[in-house]
């Protein structure tokens, strides 16, 4: 990947003498950013531009080229790439549009392009993108003319959309955030976000990675890379709903997936998801600061109102405002001119207008062992306190690092002064107390350490039984029947009450007799997927007579529903009352199998209370998943209820995970309900449904 960011020579293909030519902007950008390699221009009509020859073909360039940048009409792209390949160029950025994001013709061009690039062993970024920027090497190839208004820094950006990428660049420039590398990836036909992420994770010049994606190419790889690094990764994943789908497809040919799977996967991999640029900005401002090692905040404010707002924000974010120790208060009390305010945390500086004293107070506060972070709220009128304020804020900049504690400075002044301030400071400042506090909360909650990929703990799974059932269903090209689904679930290690299949009322009666207690009768037929809807379930039948009569009733229901062949009836002891839960699994196109757990009954009906984890995950993940349910307190014994067998539920989650991990043929699975009994008594499967690919 490094040749994309540090090529010794580039060829800009698609340049002409016309003022309107977009390729010229690429050349302008390379010059504006002082690119440290050699630039060649290529265009079919030849001529000159920027005091350089425009070669008619890359073949004519009398030098070796590390990177070609293409901005020629889509239909010419494959042959141009072929020429580049013949010339020995191994990297290209294709900025042209008009590919699969437009129509079928474009899709065909893409297919040819992929084939030609492969033949020449070439990697390329795009098409339909604005290319890359490397602030350090001066490589800057977007076809939108840019000014080099960026600070050098360690934040790198990967954006599927060029426009949103430019927006991030604007935000960084105006907020004083330092840029390292930028890549717009468009249709990501060859190089995708994972290739670039892998590169940036290893890049010494990158500390924080920020991404905008409309689709995720390989979810599991993304998770693996993210887990392997301690560098913070922030992701804005859009294209979430129905309305965005069409425009995203026509924009970067992005297909949207199941957003709940995306969210779960990102959280598991330690990727911070954000969905508005304010959150991004606040995160980028706070992440370079020292880690927040505790939960105690001190708020120091020139405005009492802002102190109140900050205190509310601290409470909402779960922070504590530690009381200041008496000696500290006596120390700072001397500085106040008139005794017109009370000294508390938040500390209102009131009528104290001495900037040296402010500096000392902040310094002393950061030294307090019970203070883990400081928020300083500075309000000023630029016409009055411009010089003093600027000098003071510059002084504050270093405090965070000398004390090894985060110090969030929040400035309230007029807009013009604010933008001057932003340009002149080395570190960013906040503009609202709520922002400063929520950024600190982000710093507290988002700990990104490199971790091993979790492993599914080993456990009971009767592969032979499961394999045989699946093989039979696939061979007979029919859905998995209820008794087969229960057999699979039981083979996975869940507790399924004994059941028998009855072909006639005599068999039903005999089976009920063997059960002893009350039984349940369920219709089993390939055509019936929702048996309750057609009256295919009978509960609480007692004795042989009732069971025999039940059999007949189910047969009538089957005939009414138009069931063909000879349906059978499953006879099973009725499961004891417990807390109704549901377990399930589905297979996501990009993230692979995911397991979900939720509360059954009214909780799922009214509140959609479900949680989800992408594989692989371990016991701790399963535990966290269950804890995240709103209904969790019902399991652990809220308000004097007897605690339920949460351990059995967790075992069930892991059993389902092992099952769908081992058998790729299973695309959907539901255990609904699973009755979770009292602690130590396990959990029993009442009903199950399995769908194969």
Considering only residues 43 to 82 of the shown chain, the ones binding a copy of itself according to CB under 8 A are 73-74
Return the residue of 51, 62, 415, 562 that touches a copy of itself, per CB under 8 A.
415
Minimum CB distance to a copy of itself smaller for 16 or for 239: 239
Contact at 8 Å (CB) between 206 and 135? no
Helix, strand or coil for residue 573? strand
d(CA 584, CA 275): 28
Binding mask 563-602 for a copy of itself (x = CB under 8 A): ---------------------------------------x
Minimum CB distance to a copy of itself smaller for 85 or for 257: 257
d(CA 22, CA 95): 11
Contact at 8 Å (CB) between 572 and 684? no
Contact at 8 Å (CB) between 52 and 9? no
**Which of 220-228, 468-476, 616-624, 625-633 is the region at the interface with a copy of itself (rule: CB under 8 A)?**
625-633
Contact at 8 Å (CB) between 362 and 281? no
**Which of 1-9, 301-309, 354-362, 523-531 is the region at the interface with a copy of itself (rule: CB under 8 A)?**
301-309
Q: Which two tokens stand for residue 101?
A: 């994001």
Is residue 18 close enough to count as binding a copy of itself by CB under 8 A?
A: no
Contact at 8 Å (CB) between 363 and 399? yes
Shortest separation between residue 499's beta carbon and a copy of itself, angstroms: 26
Is residue 398 close enough to count as binding a copy of itself by CB under 8 A?
A: no
Is residue 7 close enough to count as binding a copy of itself by CB under 8 A?
A: no
- Nearest residue to 58 via CA among 27, 29, 33, 89: 89
Minimum CB distance to a copy of itself smaller for 79 or for 414: 414
Is residue 246 close enough to count as binding a copy of itself by CB under 8 A?
A: yes
Considering only residues 342 to 371 of the shown chain, the ones binding a copy of itself according to CB under 8 A are 342, 344, 346, 348, 350-351
Return the residue of 250, 402, 424, 529 that touches a copy of itself, per CB under 8 A.
250
d(CA 6, CA 176): 24
Number of Cβ within 10 Å of residue 527's Cβ equals 14
> At CA 32, angle to CA 31 and CA 34, rounded to 5?
60
**Which of 167-175, 201-209, 361-369, 455-463 is the region at the interface with a copy of itself (rule: CB under 8 A)?**
167-175
- The phi and psi torsions of 477 (rounded to 5 degrees) equal 45, 55
Minimum CB distance to a copy of itself smaller for 236 or for 522: 236
- Antiparallel, parallel or unpaired: β 233-237 and 208-213: parallel
d(CA 502, CA 505): 7
Return the residue of 166, 468, 501, 624 that touches a copy of itself, per CB under 8 A.
166
Considering only residues 136 to 165 of the shown chain, the ones binding a copy of itself according to CB under 8 A are 144-147, 149, 159-165
What is the distance in angstroms between the CA of the first residue and the CA of the last residue of the chain? 37
Shortest separation between residue 96's beta carbon and a copy of itself, angstroms: 9
Is residue 311 close enough to count as binding a copy of itself by CB under 8 A?
A: yes
Number of Cβ within 10 Å of residue 539's Cβ equals 11
Is residue 379 close enough to count as binding a copy of itself by CB under 8 A?
A: yes
Minimum CB distance to a copy of itself smaller for 418 or for 692: 418
Minimum CB distance to a copy of itself smaller for 294 or for 526: 294
Beta bridge partners of 610: 598
Considering only residues 195 to 234 of the shown chain, the ones binding a copy of itself according to CB under 8 A are 212, 214
Return the residue of 39, 82, 102, 357 that touches a copy of itself, per CB under 8 A.
102
Contact at 8 Å (CB) between 81 and 116? yes
Total residues at interface with a copy of itself (CB under 8 A): 96
347-359: buried (b, 16+ CB within 10 Å) or exposed (e) per residue? bbbbebeebeebe
Shortest separation between residue 469's beta carbon and a copy of itself, angstroms: 31
Is residue 338 close enough to count as binding a copy of itself by CB under 8 A?
A: yes
d(CA 453, CA 451): 6
- Nearest residue to 401 via CA among 497, 308, 289, 495: 289
H helical segments located in 73-103: 77-87
Is residue 255 close enough to count as binding a copy of itself by CB under 8 A?
A: no
Minimum CB distance to a copy of itself smaller for 166 or for 357: 166
Considering only residues 312 to 331 of the shown chain, the ones binding a copy of itself according to CB under 8 A are 312, 314-316, 321
Return the residue of 139, 248, 272, 374 that touches a copy of itself, per CB under 8 A.
248
Is residue 500 close enough to count as binding a copy of itself by CB under 8 A?
A: no
């Amino acid at each position: 990947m490094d040749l994309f960011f540090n090529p010794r020579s580039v060829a800009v293909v698609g340049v002409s003498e016309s003022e309107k030519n977009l390729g010229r902007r690429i050349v302008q950008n390379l010059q504006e950013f002082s690119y440290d390699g050699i630039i060649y221009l290529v265009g079919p009509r030849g001529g000159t531009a920027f005091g350089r020859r425009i070669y008619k073909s890359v073949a004519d360039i009398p030098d070796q080229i590390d990177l070609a940048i293409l901005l020629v009409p889509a239909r010419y792209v494959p042959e141009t790439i072929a020429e580049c390949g013949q010339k020995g160029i191994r990297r290209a950025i294709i900025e042209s549009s008009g590919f699969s994001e437009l129509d079928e013709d474009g899709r065909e061009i893409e297919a040819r392009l992929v084939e030609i690039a492969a033949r020449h062993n070439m990697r390329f970024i795009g098409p339909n993108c604005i290319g890359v920027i490397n602030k350090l090497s001066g490589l800057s190839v977007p076809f939108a003319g840019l000014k080099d208004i960026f600070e050098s820094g360690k934040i790198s950006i990967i954006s599927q959309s060029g426009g949103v990428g430019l927006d991030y660049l604007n935000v960084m420039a105006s907020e004083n955030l330092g840029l390292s590398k930028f890549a717009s990836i468009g249709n990501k036909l060859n190089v995708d976000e994972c290739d670039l992420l892998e590169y940036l994770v290893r890049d010494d010049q990158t500390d924080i990675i920020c991404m905008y994606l409309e689709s995720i190419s390989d979810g599991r790889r993304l998770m693996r890379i993210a887990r392997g690094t301690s560098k913070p990764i922030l992701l804005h994943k859009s294209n979430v709903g129905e309305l965005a789908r069409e425009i995203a497809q026509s924009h970067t040919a992005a297909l949207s997936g199941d957003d709940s799977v995306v969210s779960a996967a990102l959280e598991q991999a330690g990727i911070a998801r954000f969905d508005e640029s304010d959150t991004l900005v606040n995160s980028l401002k706070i992440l370079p600061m020292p880690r927040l090692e505790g939960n105690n905040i001190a708020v120091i404010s020139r405005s009492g109102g802002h102190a109140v707002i900050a205190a509310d924000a601290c409470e909402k974010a779960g922070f504590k405002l530690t009381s200041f120790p008496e000696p500290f208060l006596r120390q700072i009390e001397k500085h106040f001119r008139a005794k017109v305010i009370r000294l508390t945390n938040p500390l209102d500086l009131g009528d104290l207008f001495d900037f040296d004293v402010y500096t000392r107070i902040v310094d002393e506060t950061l030294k307090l062992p019970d203070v883990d972070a400081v928020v300083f709220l500075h309000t000023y009128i630029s016409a009055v306190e411009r010089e003093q304020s600027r000098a003071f804020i510059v002084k504050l900049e270093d405090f965070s690092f000398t004390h090894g504690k985060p110090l969030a400075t929040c400035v309230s002044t007029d807009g013009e002064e604010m933008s001057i301030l932003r340009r002149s400071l080395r570190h960013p400042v906040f503009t609202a107390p709520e922002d400063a506090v929520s950024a600190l909360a982000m710093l507290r909650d988002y700990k990104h350490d490199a971790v091993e990929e979790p492993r599914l703990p080993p456990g009971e799974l009767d592969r032979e039984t499961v394999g045989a059932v699946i093989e039979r269903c696939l061979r007979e090209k029919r859905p998995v029947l209820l008794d087969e689904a229960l057999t699979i679930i039981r083979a996975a290690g869940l507790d399924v009450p004994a059941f028998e299949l009855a072909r006639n009322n005599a068999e039903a009666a005999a089976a009920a007799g063997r059960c002893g207690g009350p039984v349940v009768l369920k219709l089993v037929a390939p055509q019936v997927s929702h048996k309750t809807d057609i009256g295919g379930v009978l509960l609480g039948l007692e004795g042989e007579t009732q069971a025999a009569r039940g059999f007949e009733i189910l047969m009538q229901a089957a005939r009414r529903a138009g069931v063909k062949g000879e349906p059978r009836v499953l006879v099973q002891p009725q499961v004891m009352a417990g807390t109704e839960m549901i377990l399930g699994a589905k297979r996501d196109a990009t993230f692979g199998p995911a397991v979900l757990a939720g509360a059954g009954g009214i909780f799922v009906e009214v509140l959609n209370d479900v949680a989800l984890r992408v594989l692989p995950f371990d016991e701790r993940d399963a535990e966290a998943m269950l804890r995240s349910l709103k209904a969790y307190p019902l399991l652990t014994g809220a308000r004097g209820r007897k605690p339920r067998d949460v351990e059995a539920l967790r075992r069930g989650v892991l059993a389902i995970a092992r099952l769908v991990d081992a058998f790729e043929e299973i695309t959907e699975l539901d255990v609904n309900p699973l009755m979770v009994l009292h602690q130590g008594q396990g959990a029993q499967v009442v009903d199950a449904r399995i769908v194969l690919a």
